[in-house]
Amino acid sequence: MQAILGAGGAIGTELVKEFARTGQSVRLVSRNPKPIRGATETISADISDLDQTIRAVSGSSIVAPVGVDGR
């Protein structure tokens, strides 16, 4: 499972396509996630909240933080 944090933008969409093309399952994580073709699941989480982030990425072998400003 690959998790994409802040998955709502153009970079996240392209990552989903690439992961899906190689047969990998993809979890989208965002405050208001929108389905993207190729994604296995979507999870609503505020990534500025550590507990929500830990739950959202649990079980992922790769976590890609895109669209995350780090504040």
State the pLDDT confidence band at 70, using cuts at 50, 70 and 90: low
pLDDT of 51 reads: 97
Domain annotation for the chain: domains and CATH numbers:
2-65 (3.40.50.20)
Mean model confidence pLDDT for the chain: 88
Contact between 20 and 29 (Cβ < 8 Å) = no
Q: Residue by residue, what is the 3-state secondary structure of the chain?
A: CEEEECCCCHHHHHHHHHHHHCCCCEEEEECCCCCCCCCCEEEECCCCCHHHHHHHHCCCCEEEECCCCCC
pTM: 0.84
pLDDT of 36 reads: 87
Greatest CA separation for the chain: 33
